[in-house]
Structure 1
Amino acid sequence: MGRHHADEVHDGGVHEHDRGLSYDLPVLARRRMIRLMAGASLVPLVGCTSQDGTPASSSASSAKGSASSSASSAECATIPDETAGPFPGDGSNGVNVLKESGVVRSDITSSFGDSAGGTAEGVPLTVTLTVVDAASGCGTPKRGAAVYIWHCDRAGDYSLYSEGVTDENWLRGVQEADGSGQVTFRSIFPGCYAGRWPHIHFEVYGSLADATAATSITSTSQLAFPKDVCDTVYATDGYDESVRNLSSLSLETDGIFSDGYSRQLATMKGSAAEGYTATLTVPV
């Protein structure tokens, strides 16, 4: 994974956009074990020890602890690194919205500053990302980190870049993580454009100062949406093109999520009528 992923297709254009242990013992080893067990049955069992003298129960406990530690490490792997795509608005591809006054905000549905001042329409969506320290086992929130998110509108267009919305900067914003490592944005559910599964881009920075200076990115990734929620949202007005585009896609064939999406799939609650909430833990 990383920024080397295959390009994404958008409205005809191209844009860039992640048997264990063997239980079969060799025949000789089995025979040797049988002889040892037979001999052991003649000796009173006062206390079992491992070959290094450690009580067997301790060894088992240690092994269990190691397994738990390994499992914990696996569960606490950093968020997969993904491409920022061609429309980041962070200065890496043309325009830089991060240095504009007003980009630090929780409601990103409308444009701000000298932009056209429009508002993106669609099913309401609240996104909460919890940034945690992967090195500490994901138990320590990254208080003071900053997150910049951006995504397309319900027509599949990106503000600042797509034809007709180059004067808008909606659906882009920055938040500083609170004491729980959380950032929350109010937005709309993004559409599905040709060639890409519905998603939200985000960049994590070490601090708000880094984010607004557009420097020292800690992690770049993407959030994916569950299919059942996409189907429900896209059955509402304004998402007509998304229905057709989604029908030819799956998470397993998407150019970004096909190599694994379990740690990027949002947990969803809500309804199309009342709006949805999407939550995701982001270990960095």
Structure 2
Amino acid sequence: MSTAPKSSGQGHGHSHGHIHGHGHDQHHDDEFDRGLSHDLPVFARRRMIRLLAGASMVPLVAACSSDDSAGGSASDPASSASSSSSSGTSGADCEVIPSETEGPYPGDGSNGPNVLEESGVVRRDITRSFGSSDGVAEGVPLTITLTVVDQSSGCDTPKKGAAVYLWQCDREGRYSLYSDGVTDENYLRGVQETDDEGRLTFTSVFPGCYPGRWPHLHFEVYDSLADATAARNIAVTSQLAFPKDVCDTVYATDGYGDSVQNLGELSLETDMIFSDGYDQQLAAVEGSTDKGYTATLTVPV
């Protein structure tokens, strides 16, 4: 989703199960610098699974086809299109948010630096670096509000006292701690604890779009703030996607020049992470470039 990160394949394999434990035993090395070559095997496996699943449904489709004349088409392209976030998901539609691997720039100790154990990482405003760094991420203002809910209760029960570690690239598509020019910065990374309603908010800037990835941000959900700041026991790792119309508007402003071309070469349907479904990960975004935007998403865990 100027200097782009080394990996055009910042996203990673997409799974619809939980990731238990921190995953620090994952192998993180120069494979990340090979972009798509690292992700295509996983992507190919996902496509094979979907093909096999589709084959198993052929008898069912055939049986249902005889009902089309009486009850209308069994498939409605308009109703199946992925176009909005699932912030209203509840009851029978409630599913755990899709899990993603953390990628090459997590900053959680699984691949190099660990910002989670540093004093100051628990904060709402992530636009500035903290500690010995003083850099500031520039860009269109963005407020991110996540609501963490309990999937086992039908997504009706908020997860009070859970914690989220969120990180993203800056306007130029760079990740602090990793990318050239910002290795000494730790901005656009932070931890927040959910309130009684399961909500938490970060103040940030709209991320740029770098080659090979749809505009997105990353987050890890923990059962408690203590787990988050100790970088242990991740409940789920996922990503949030941004709507195209908002991206087009933001990228027409100063500082996002490279993002225009990069976005033009991508789509949610072809992104290596979101191509197998993004309803649950597409944020609802409102606002303007003058006053800033607010992105909201419900996160069932």
TM-score range, shorter chain: 0.7 to 0.9
The one-letter code of the counterpart of 2:263 is L
Q: Spell out the pairing of 1:134-283 with structure 2 (5 A cutoff).
A: 134-283=151-300
Q: 1:253 to 1:212 in 2, by over 3 A?
A: same
The answer as to whether partners of 2:94 and 2:300 remain within 8 angstroms in 1 is yes
Q: 1:163 to 1:23 in 2, by over 3 A?
A: closer
Describe the SS at the equivalent of 1:107: coil
Q: Work out whether 1:95 is the aligned partner of 2:104.
A: no
Q: Name the residue aligned to 1:111.
A: 129
CA distance in 2, matches of 1:124, 1:159: 18
Query: Residues 13-54 of structure 1, C-alpha deviation per residue, up to 9 Å, x if partnerless?
Result: 4356784973749xxxxxxxxxxxxxxxxxxxxxxxxxxxxx
Q: Name the residue aligned to 2:21.
A: none
The answer as to whether partners of 1:3 and 1:81 remain within 8 angstroms in 2 is no
Q: Spell out the pairing of 1:52-71 with structure 2 (5 A cutoff).
A: none
CA distance in 2, matches of 1:193, 1:20: 44
Describe the SS at the equivalent of 2:145: strand
The answer as to whether partners of 2:102 and 2:218 remain within 8 angstroms in 1 is yes
Deviation at 1:217, TM superposition (A): 0.1
CA distance in 2, matches of 1:280, 1:89: 23
Q: Name the residue aligned to 1:86.
A: 104
The answer as to whether partners of 1:130 and 1:141 remain within 8 angstroms in 2 is yes
Deviation at 1:131, TM superposition (A): 0.1
Q: Name the residue aligned to 1:4.
A: 13
CA distance in 1, matches of 2:283, 2:273: 15
CA distance in 2, matches of 1:221, 1:20: 36
The one-letter code of the counterpart of 1:76 is C
- Structure 2: runs of 5+ lacking an equivalent: 1-10, 16-31, 40-45, 47-60, 68-88
CA distance in 2, matches of 1:73, 1:189: 32
Question: How many equivalent pairs are there?
Answer: 232
Identity, % of aligned positions: 69
Q: Which has the larger radius of gyration?
A: 1
Describe the SS at the equivalent of 2:165: strand
Computed over aligned residues only, the root mean square deviation of the Cα atoms, in angstroms, reads 2.2
CA distance in 2, matches of 1:228, 1:245: 15
Deviation at 1:83, TM superposition (A): 1.9
* 4+ long deviations beyond 2 Å: 2-6, 12-25, 71-74
- Structure 1: runs of 5+ lacking an equivalent: 7-11, 26-70
The one-letter code of the counterpart of 1:4 is G
Q: Work out whether 1:120 is the aligned partner of 2:140.
A: no
Describe the SS at the equivalent of 2:99: coil
Deviation at 1:4, TM superposition (A): 3.2
Describe the SS at the equivalent of 1:122: coil
CA distance in 2, matches of 1:161, 1:24: 57
Describe the SS at the equivalent of 1:128: strand
CA distance in 1, matches of 2:149, 2:245: 28
The answer as to whether partners of 2:252 and 2:260 remain within 8 angstroms in 1 is yes
Taking structure 2 as the reference length, the TM-score comes to 0.73
Deviation at 1:270, TM superposition (A): 0.2
CA distance in 1, matches of 2:121, 2:252: 31
CA distance in 2, matches of 1:172, 1:201: 10
The answer as to whether partners of 2:12 and 2:273 remain within 8 angstroms in 1 is no
Q: 1:72 to 1:212 in 2, by over 3 A?
A: closer
Q: 1:241 to 1:135 in 2, by over 3 A?
A: same
Q: Name the residue aligned to 1:22.
A: 64
